[in-house]
Amino acid sequence: MSSVEVDDRFKNGSVPVIIKIFRIDHVRHLQEGVFINQQRPKQGLFGLDVLRDKTFGVRHRSVSTLTRVLRGSNWGGDSAGWVHGGIKKLKKNQRNDATTQRVHFIYDKLLFMQDRSQIRWRSTLLLIGTIVGAGIFGVPAMIGAWGVPVSTIAFAAITLVVLAAHLLYAEALLANGKIDGRLEQHAAHWLGKPVGMLAGGIQTIQIFGSNLAYLILGGEFLAVLAQAVGVNIPVIIWQMLFWVLGAVIVCYGLAAVARIEAHLTWLLIVTIIILIIAFAIRIRIEDISLLGLSLPERVTFEPYGVILFSLLGITPIPEILESVGRRRDDAYKVIIRGTVVSAFLTYAFGVFGWLVSSGLIGRNPSDLVHFLPPVIALVFPLAGFLAIITSFLTTTLDLRNMFHLDYHFSNIASWVVSLGVPLVLLFLTPRDFLATIGLIGAVFSSAIAVIVSLMGYQALTASLKRRDPWQKRLWSRVVPIIVSIILILSGILWYTVSSPNL
């Protein structure tokens, strides 16, 4: 005889349902069981289309483990209902022999479930993969603009501000009780509908600007790869080809990309580490003494926008909270690890990339390929292309879903706007990658960070009690305000001191 027990803690519809299968005729139970969704979720970028078989059978053995989980955030809030899943059909053979008895489960999509530590590390990888993207390639030139000493201090300060914003956003989502949904909806809940609409508009412009930056740099990397095989075509042609490739994949080949997206993240991180080591090996001692302690020749605040753009990554935080089961301590560990590791990789890439160039790198990030040994010279543009194409696909799909589901555009209109606006901007702007991400980071990313910090302030103060320790009061009342002030003042300084090219 078999029985099924569903853990009540997981019935709220936002975290995986864990089903334990017990064998009544055995003292020990089969190890934690299986989740089966009731309906097939909508396909999304990260919707891993795996295990399509209609049935799944497991022979009951004392050492057998059958543990599966399906993460709800992968397919968006519309499909949240299937998280309430359960067993659609549970059958057992009529044979009484316990060693041959089989249990069959009907299911559509399943993912392996790891223990808490494995979940934390996978979530950390998700955050790192989101943060470490196109922005990292603009950092070496910005290190040169500020000098290594000033850049080190500024990097540490911006990292702390970004980390606080990430944690405050997580606090707002946890306190809201509804993790799924877009930034606009969460901002409206905590700060009012007008602020929510403002947040939605700012985020839309930020994504459009980011996709413009991806087109600019993606085309430059394709041009470098083409030149390596003797093909010399104007960069604007490669940028248009990058757009065509991205449009085709996002419309027709997204399922294939979803299957390898996690592997691309690992590949990018490993490649960045290899490049950092390659830069470090080729740095000359005289460059360290000459450039390592140099100060900026002129006053500029341009690096602020580029660095903030390269470090802020609030997009995966809702999915991270769902993955860790809304456990605050696990969420904090993931966010702190992911943010700090991403900042370290970005800083090391920027400093070593600047030093290896002997201060000669210009505003084109792809110029760094000339300072690499020939054996790995093509690794740099190839890694850059992979990082940028995956980011372009993710943000384009997010835009399409936002226009189609939230703003009720038709399917065709959603695709036209999502793909067409960045292409139009490509011909209306100077196509300066650093100026583009500097503007997006200093203005729009900064505004989003202010909004999520104020959301965290509202969430924390709402639950604050008179007897709470001073540390909690400091975190709830003081830190969000300080972070918001720093971001606002930095944005003003960027606008007044720097000279935007857009």
Among 44-53, 113-122, 386-395, 416-425, the range with the most confident prediction by mean pLDDT is: 416-425
Tokens of 243: 């757009």
In sequence order, the β-bridge partners of residue 381 are none
DSSP H or E segment with residue 106: strand 102-106
The helix/strand/coil state of 266 is helix
Cα 416 → chain centroid: 24
The helix/strand/coil state of 42 is coil
For 263-303, the pLDDT digits (tens) are: 777 778 888 898 999 998 888 877 776 676 677 777 789 99
**331-337: long-range contacts, CB 8 A cutoff, minimum separation 24:** 331/170, 331/174, 332/167, 332/170, 333/120, 334/120, 334/123, 334/124, 334/127, 335/127, 335/163, 335/166, 335/167, 335/170, 336/163, 336/167, 337/120, 337/124, 337/127
The residue among 17, 155, 43 whose CA lies nearest residue 108 is 43
Instruction: Give the strands of the sheet with 90-92, arranged side by side.
Output: 55-59, 102-106, 90-92
Residue with tokens 């991806």: 214
In whole angstroms, what is the distance from residue 403 CA to residue 417 CA?
8
Identify the band that residue 455 occupies on the pLDDT scale cut at 50, 70 and 90.
Answer: very high
Phi/psi of residue 121, each to 5°?
Answer: -70, -35
Query: Does residue 411 or residue 22 have the better pLDDT?
Result: 411
The pLDDT of residue 11 is above 60? no
For 167-193, the pLDDT digits (tens) are: 999 999 999 877 667 899 899 999 999
Identify the band that residue 397 occupies on the pLDDT scale cut at 50, 70 and 90.
Answer: confident
Residue 362: the pLDDT is 79
When mean pLDDT is compared across 84-98, 144-158, 408-422, the lowest value belongs to 84-98
Rg (CA), the chain: 25
The domains of the chain, with CATH numbers, are 2-112 (no CATH), 116-497 (1.20.1740.10)
In whole angstroms, what is the distance from residue 230 CA to residue 474 CA?
60
Identify the band that residue 398 occupies on the pLDDT scale cut at 50, 70 and 90.
Answer: confident
List, in order, residues 6 or more apart from 385 with CB less than 8 Å away. Answer: 218, 221, 222, 225
Residue 445: the pLDDT is 96
| CB of 250 closer than 8 Å to CB of 393 | yes
For 39-50, the pLDDT digits (tens) are: 333 333 222 222
Identify the band that residue 197 occupies on the pLDDT scale cut at 50, 70 and 90.
Answer: very high
- Say which DSSP state 371 is in: G
pLDDT mean across residues, the chain: 75
Give the mean pLDDT of 305-317: 94
Residue 257: the pLDDT is 61
Global model pTM greater than 0.85: no
